[in-house]
Chain A
Amino acid sequence: MVQQLGYLKETPSQTAGPYVHIGLTPNFCGIAGVYQTDLGSRMVNDETRGERITITGRVIDGAGAPLKDALVEIWQADAAGLYNSPTEIRGAADPNFSGWGRCATGAEDGVFSFETVKPARVPYSHDRQMAPHITFWIVARGINVGLHTRMYFPDEQEANAADPLLARIEHRHRVATLVATGSAPNYVFDIHLQGEKETVFLDI
């Protein structure tokens, strides 16, 4: 016999289901008066530092149809490369930037959109940097465990070429699935759940 580690098991994930909006974006689905605004609907204000950008996109299923009942969250560093988080120990992030956003995909067109700022590079280790990127997390009916992925920028080719995560992608043609299209200030990032263009999802 040895000592017991005594660790607990993580609570298993379950799908967010078709009515995720009731809980996470109630105003979006017509439940008014419980919360003043939907959390995460605004990431910037007039004082936010950095280059303003918009990101729009869709989450597309294996039949090519955009999901109209998905919920997308993003998390990113500010224009100086700092995260607005207690775990950020390198300095204080811009107090006028939340770094986190939440958007339901449109009930008619399946489009999500975020108004944010372009993040700067952040460190991977003490001597390596990651290219500017935005973390995406996608939940929906039919998705059992929330999907993590990242969006990189098409106008950061040099930084992308040196990015440690992108370097780990074995099949090099799939790197493009993590790079937005469009150009500043309007980027487009479509997420493909299946098929030839399947986005690289992360176990991270």
Chain B
Amino acid sequence: MSDRTNGKPETGAFFARDRAWHAPALTPGYKTSVLRSPQKALLSLDGTISEITGPVFGHSLIGELDNDLIHNFAKPGESAIGERIIVHGRVLDERGRAVPGVLLEFWQANAGGRYRHKKESYLAPLDPNFGGCGRTITDEEGGYAFRTIKPGPYPWPNGVNDWRPAHIHFSVFGHGFAQRLITQMYFEGDPMIWKCPIVNTIPDRQAVEQLIAPLDWANTIPFDARAYKFDIVLRGRRSTLFENRLEGN
């Protein structure tokens, strides 16, 4: 397996997170962050066994329709309304190695930009055949795929006229709790990406581009669904060759 060295699981600490690559906590353009952002410095330290370890989930967790948002909430014989798409890609770590066995959970608005949630008040209608959640686990090569409809953009209360670009939320478990990540995927060619206060919390344009999935024409299925490719990179793990071992060197 790619995560093992000489048959032993890798137990090194993770590469330090590049905080300049991520959004800072306080981003006044995204108003909710103002009262929810820690103001004191984070306490930085090398990962311990509590962060190097993490929960893993077996493939038996995954139901037959869990990676098919077009059908997993739909009545028998019916399907969700919208542009049919396949989202697929690989989960890698910063060393470029595949990360197998990663639980990916995703959620999104329907084709009209409406979420199935009691706090949601946008006037666009619910789709009775669309719930908006799905999940899958990466294979030995770190690969994953799911089927869904392309979510619509929607307005949200922040500035007077702020809209979210079409996006899919991702939650990712790596092999250590330090790798835990939630992010959002955007779609190639959407001019609204660069107007979004949440996208613009990320200071580096190249970092934002890492969240934009290109149209994958080669994997598009004729007369069925277009494909978008979205690779996810988790923190890399240090080699354990010269680490202090918990059981003693």
Q: Which residues of A contact B (CB under 8 A)?
A: 6-24, 26, 29-31, 33-35, 39, 61-63, 67, 69, 73, 75-77, 83-90, 98-100, 107, 122-126, 130, 133, 135, 137, 139-148, 150, 165, 168-169, 193-194, 198-204
Contact = CB atoms under 8 A, between A and B. Distances in A.
13 contacts: A9-B233, A15-B30, A15-B184, A22-B133, A23-B106, A23-B107, A23-B171, A31-B132, A34-B65, A35-B133, A83-B50, A90-B246, A198-B39
B35 A11 contact: no
Interface residues of B, number: 98
Nearest to A81: B49
Interface of B: 8-11, 15-19, 21-25, 27, 30, 32-40, 42-57, 61, 63, 65-66, 72-73, 92-96, 105-107, 115-120, 131-135, 169, 171-172, 175-178, 180-184, 198-199, 201-202, 206-208, 210-211, 232-236, 244-249
Contacts of A14: 23, 169, 182-184, 198-199, 201-202, 211
A44 to B, nearest CB: 14
Nearest to A126: B248
A142 B32 contact: yes
B35 A61 contact: yes
Given A30-B118, A123-B246, A12 B44 contact: no
A88 B11 CA distance: 8
A24 B94 CA distance: 26
A143 B42 CA distance: 14
Contacts of B25: 143-145
Contact of B54 (A24, A31, A87, A141): A87
Contacts of B198: 14-15, 17
The majority secondary structure among interface residues of chain B is loop
B36 A142 contact: yes
A31 B133 contact: yes
Given A9-B18, A22-B107, 6 more contacts: A7-B95, A7-B236, A22-B116, A145-B25, A146-B182, A204-B48
Contact of A201 (B38, B184, B207): B38
B131 A31 contact: yes
Given A7-B94, A29-B118, A86-B56, A198 B38 contact: yes
B41 to A, nearest CB: 9
A26 B133 contact: yes
A122 B169 contact: no
Contacts of B37: 142-144, 193-194
Contacts of A168: 43, 45
Contact of B55 (A9, A24, A84, A126): A84
A25 B51 CA distance: 23
B23 A145 contact: yes
A163 B181 CA distance: 27
B134 to A, nearest CB: 8
Contacts of A9: 18, 21, 94, 206-207, 210, 233
A103 to B, nearest CB: 15
Given A6-B96, A31-B116, A87-B52, A144 B180 contact: no
Contacts of B42: 201-203
Given A6-B96, A204-B178, A11 B233 contact: yes
Contact of B63 (A24, A35, A201): A35
Nearest to A144: B23
A12 B210 contact: yes
A33 B84 CA distance: 22
A99 B57 CA distance: 12
